[in-house]
Amino acid sequence: MIIQKTENSRLSTFDPNNFSFGNTFSDHMIICEYEDGKWGDVKLVPYGPLLFTPAMMGVNYGQACFEGMKAYKDNDGQVFLFRPEKNFERINKSAKRLAMPEVTEEMFLDGLKALVDTDRNWIPQGEGMSLYIRPLIFATEEALKARVANKYMFAIVATPAKSYYADPVSVKISDHYSRAASGGVGSAKAAGNYAASFYPTQLAMEEGYDQIIWTDDATHEYFEESGTMNVFVRINDTIYTPPTSEKILDGVTRDSFIQLANKRGLDIRVEPIAVQAVLDAHKNGTLKEVWGVGTAVVTTVFKALGHKGEKLQLPSLPDDESYAALLKSDLVNLQNNISEDPFGWRVLVKKDVLETA
């Protein structure tokens, strides 16, 4: 790895009690360029702009995919990643579906650890605090031809993140717009999937909703995802979440929730969720909770579901009766080294990784 540390740290300008998520960047970034059929050296460099023309294929033809993950600092100042091998596997699954070169485990994990270790002072401490980390791969070749690019960049950038808390939101069950096609790229964390979701979400907001529950594009009869999260539904004391597929992202938080629910002995079923079954459960009073899960906020609880012009209010459960709150607490405690880790999910980021390598 080539190391070029900044001589102008911006750390003194960073107030962990007052920063905005997503556009405060840590001092460094990882970059690695792909050319002539192979990846070059991984470099740790100061975060900042690089030179790209508007003919860059990444913005012209959308060959771009990413991951979202976090590093957590415990009470003793130790820093942990959470299941980073899952993100490594998934970025390569996304890359493959978009005909992009896969990254090596060494590039991905060593790059990640080097960045997190070097910028460990950027990780805010305390409940809900973390460093949000964004690995991505995008086509950098300059060419105006709709074909697979020959040049790419793998990069990792990071931004401090705070507070898991998200207000309960109202979500609209989509009856027209869709996130993914059968035989499409829904299971990839493809850049284009996000842009495609913004306009339908804006329309839902104009109707008084915060997010969309995406349904299958052919019939709109089955839940797929919610916003940019995987979706869970609790009917009586049974939790349902749809099976992953080529249309549904294999979320790390989703998988963790399933394993944590199983560990608690909860009845959790990975099964298709029919819109009608949810509506029926609402009608007969057995619909207890609906929520989304993802890396950024962990859990967003839904307070209302919109369906074809009707807004169905959901129960507001106290935390000690909510499975969403229970599983979120289990996950957050594990991530922050407050509880045991029987799964081996936490990965300690050693100090001075670069010096001792």
- The residues binding its own copies (CB under 8 A) are 21-23, 25, 29, 31, 47-55, 58-64, 66, 68, 96-99, 132, 134, 136, 138, 141-148, 153, 155, 157, 159, 174, 176-185, 190-200, 202, 217-218, 228
Tell me whether strands 310-313 and 298-307 are parallel, antiparallel or unpaired.
antiparallel
CB of 55 to its own copies, least distance (A): 5
Cα gap 189→197, rounded to integer Å: 13
Smaller CB separation from its own copies, 67 or 117:
67
Please report which helix (H) or strand (E) contains residue 346, including its range.
strand 346-348
CB of 339 to its own copies, least distance (A): 28
Q: Is the separation of the CB atoms in 152 and 66 below 8 Å?
A: no
Tell me whether strands 28-35 and 64-66 are parallel, antiparallel or unpaired.
unpaired
Tell me whether strands 2-3 and 43-46 are parallel, antiparallel or unpaired.
parallel
Q: Which two tokens stand for residue 232?
A: 């869970």
CB of 295 to its own copies, least distance (A): 11
Smaller CB separation from its own copies, 158 or 347:
158
Smaller CB separation from its own copies, 8 or 356:
8
Q: What angle do CA 270, 246, 254 make, to 5 degrees?
A: 40
Smaller CB separation from its own copies, 65 or 324:
65
Smaller CB separation from its own copies, 144 or 344:
144
Instruction: Tell me which residue has tokens 């699954």.
Output: 93
DSSP state of 322: -
Cα gap 170→205, rounded to integer Å: 9
Q: How many CA atoms lie within 13 A of 193 on its CB side?
A: 26
Instruction: Give the closest residue to 21 by CA, choosing from 179, 116, 129, 120.
Output: 129
Smaller CB separation from its own copies, 29 or 290:
29
CB of 188 to its own copies, least distance (A): 8
CB of 340 to its own copies, least distance (A): 31
Smaller CB separation from its own copies, 180 or 332:
180
CB of 24 to its own copies, least distance (A): 10
- Please provide residue 93's backbone torsions phi and psi, each rounded to the nearest 5 degrees: -65, -45
Smaller CB separation from its own copies, 32 or 334:
32
CB of 178 to its own copies, least distance (A): 4
64: which residues sit within 8 A by CB, 6+ positions away?
A: 58, 98, 136, 137, 138, 139, 190, 191, 192
CB of 182 to its own copies, least distance (A): 4
